[in-house]
């Protein structure tokens, strides 16, 4: 059976959501199922183009891509609050040995996207997940002058948050989705 890859994100203005869409394309290209879910805002109406995540979505997934905007060099409070609600999964070990990776969007080129990706990895490591990024065999990692890092896909949305995803950012997000899907499928087959 095809692996289920959960693409879980928080996005206030749509940049992280745009990366999530590209990662989903990569997952589907690797013949896995992309399940895209968003984290609700802490205040205001639940937003986002995708259904709101439940803890069951995490329990059921075979792999995870986790996205958040950069907020003062770290993940958004909404994303952190979500992970702080996952103790029951941690106690059961629901996420142990599942592959995972992280993605982000910042306003400026050196505004902390790599630091954010690394700190976003921490709760996933505590849950026992197997972290994966993007290898330098992807040519766009050498060519990008916007986002895209070995720690995971990223986008630089610009001072007015109106930059579209660059070609390199798109290709790296798709390559990451494919890689995560292949790993999720292989590990799922081993478990069965
Ligand atoms: C409270 C706040 C803090 C932010 N901090 C940073 C930052 O440290 N570095 C940066 O480059 N951009 C920062 N930004 C800009 C966002 O990271 C950027 O606009 C991002 O693309 C938003 O993603 P979204 O469209 O998915 O919400 C910040 C934005 C907000 C609202």
In tens digits, the chain (192 residues) has pLDDT values of 789 999 999 999 999 999 999 999 999 999 999 999 999 999 876 667 899 999 999 999 999 999 999 999 999 999 999 999 999 999 999 999 999 999 999 999 999 999 999 999 999 999 999 999 999 999 999 999 999 999 999 999 999 999 999 999 999 999 999 999 999 999 999 988
CA of 37 to the centre of ligand 1 (A): 20
pTM over 0.90: yes
Q: Is the ipTM of this complex over 0.95?
A: yes
Helix, strand, coil percent values for the chain (each to nearest 5) = 40, 20, 40
Cα(100)–Cα(86) distance, integer angstroms? 16
DSSP code string of 66-123: EEEE-BTTB--HHHHHHHTT-HHHHHHTTTTT-EEEEEEEESSTTSSHHHHHHHHHHH
- The answer, yes or no, to whether any atom of ligand 1 lies below 6 A from the CB of 80, is no
CA of 30 to the centre of ligand 1 (A): 31
Contact 86, 66 (CB under 8 A): no
CATH architecture of 4-191: 3-Layer(aba) Sandwich (3.40)
- The answer, yes or no, to whether any atom of ligand 1 lies below 6 A from the CB of 15, is yes
């Amino acid at each position: 059976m095809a692996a289920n890859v959960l693409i879980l994100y928080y996005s206030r203005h749509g940049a992280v959501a745009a990366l999530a869409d590209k990662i989903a394309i990569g997952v589907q290209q690797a013949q896995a199922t992309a399940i895209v879910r968003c984290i609700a805002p802490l205040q205001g109406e639940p937003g986002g183009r995708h259904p709101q995540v439940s803890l069951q979505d995490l329990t059921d997934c075979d792999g995870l891509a986790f996205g958040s905007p950069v907020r003062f060099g770290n993940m958004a409070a909404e994303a952190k609050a979500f992970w702080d609600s996952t103790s029951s999964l941690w106690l059961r070990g629901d996420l142990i040995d599942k592959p995972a990776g992280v993605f982000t969007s910042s306003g400026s080129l050196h505004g902390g996207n790599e630091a954010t990706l690394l700190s976003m990895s921490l709760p996933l490591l505590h849950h026992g997940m197997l972290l994966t990024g993007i290898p330098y065999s992807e040519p766009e990692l050498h060519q990008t002058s916007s986002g895209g890092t070995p720690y995971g896909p990223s986008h630089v949305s610009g001072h007015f948050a109106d930059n579209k995803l660059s070609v390199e950012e798109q290709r790296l997000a798709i390559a990451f989705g494919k890689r995560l899907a292949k790993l999720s499928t292989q590990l799922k087959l081993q478990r069965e």
